[in-house]
Amino acid sequence: MFTIIGADGKEYGPVSAEKLREWIAAGRANSQTQCRRDGETAWSTLGSLPDFAGSFGAALPPSAGASPAASAPAAAGATIMLANVDSKAYADAIRASGARIDVFECLSRAFKLWTSNFLPLVGATFLVIVVQLVIGLIPLVGSLAGLFLNGVFYGGLYYFYLGKMRGEHREIGDVFGGFTRALGPLVLCSLLQSAIAIAVLAIFMAPWIGFIIQMMVSQGQGDYSSMPTLAPGLIALTGVGMLVMLYIGVSMVFAFALVIDKGLGPWTAIVTSWRVVTRNWFSTFFVLLLGVILGLLGVIALFIGIVLTIPITIAALLYAYESLFNAPNTPAVPTTTAAA
């Protein structure tokens, strides 16, 4: 029997060697995962134990009830995109597993990752920021690139960070893995998120548009007596709209990671993130809020400070992602077979 330390820093077990091999095959444990055999006090990596020789680098048969697509590792250079994923069943199973986010533990683990991988994380983040800034300076192209490629850049950055967090090999070029591993799905995911945000914004902005039009008509006619006044209800509606936008933004925050890491389709990733975060919304929000505070501290230290603090924010967010979607006791991605 064995006990391991999951990506969320918590202990799982004791479980049998066979069960642990299932976790390895499903990607919930790797060669760098800390493990302890029952009756022993010392921790060692799974890769160093002869019991699991041959479990890494080659796929094992999927566990009962899991589809081969859900259990097989992604081919080199590309993320296997899963079809017919039941997002509701997947999200419900994760919520039923009791997965939770420990905000301060995520931040603590992010800081440890930052100190042990300082140059790779800061360098990779700086590279992506510079590339985005350069593209953004190109007239017209910059605006379209921001709309289409936002998810691609984030997806690649998440892929790089997740590899470092899991002890997997990553090279600096992997930070652009979004372009080679899941370009289409990440572009579509980015567009869908933008469309949702615009649709919600349009609902709450409609009264403002009417207000502005009425004000312009009154000015054009020189009839200032009929000039509309700023009603308290309009201000209150704006406040509600901002809260709704905040809720939606936080709820969709793991969508890009689910695409690049789990191979979920764009809409499935958004819905799954939404459903799982709903039960963990405030803890997810506080992880992001701490990131914003770190960012503000970085602003005080000018641009270089932002570059130094952003990696901690990204790592903390992805440790929250690991706590929800990749803890050893969380379920594999369920798929359904399409009707013939």
pLDDT means per 10 residues, the chain with 340 residues, are 76 81 75 83 82 62 39 47 74 85 92 93 92 87 82 95 89 93 93 92 80 76 68 81 92 95 92 93 94 77 71 94 84 54
Residue 11 lies in a domain: yes
Residue 28 lies in a domain: yes
What pLDDT sits at residue 257?
96
Q: Tell me which residue has tokens 């493990």.
A: 35
Range of the domain at 12: 1-54
How many domains does the chain contain in total? Answer: 1
pTM of whole model > 0.85?
Answer: no
Alpha-carbon gap, residue 103 to 289, rounded angstroms:
10
What pLDDT sits at residue 187?
95
Residue 48 lies in a domain: yes
What pLDDT sits at residue 71?
36
Residue 47 lies in a domain: yes
* Residue burial 262-280, b: 16+ Cβ < 10 Å; e: rest: bbbbbebbbbbbbbbbebb
Residue 14: give its domain's CATH number.
3.30.1490.40
What pLDDT sits at residue 304?
62
Whether omega before 62 lies within 30 degrees of 0, making that bond cis, reads no
Distances (CA, A) of 204 to 191, 240, 244: 20, 8, 10
Residue 240 lies in a domain: no
Alpha-carbon gap, residue 81 to 258, rounded angstroms:
10
What pLDDT sits at residue 74?
40
Q: Enumerate the H helices of the chain as residue ranges.
A: 17-25, 68-71, 87-96, 103-116, 118-136, 141-165, 177-181, 183-221, 232-251, 255-257, 266-279, 281-300, 302-325
Alpha-carbon gap, residue 168 to 74, rounded angstroms:
14
What pLDDT sits at residue 340?
31
Residue 20 lies in a domain: yes
**CA of residue 308 relative to chain centroid, distance:** 20
What pLDDT sits at residue 224?
63
Beta-carbon contacts of 61 under 8 Å, excluding residues fewer than 6 positions away, are 25
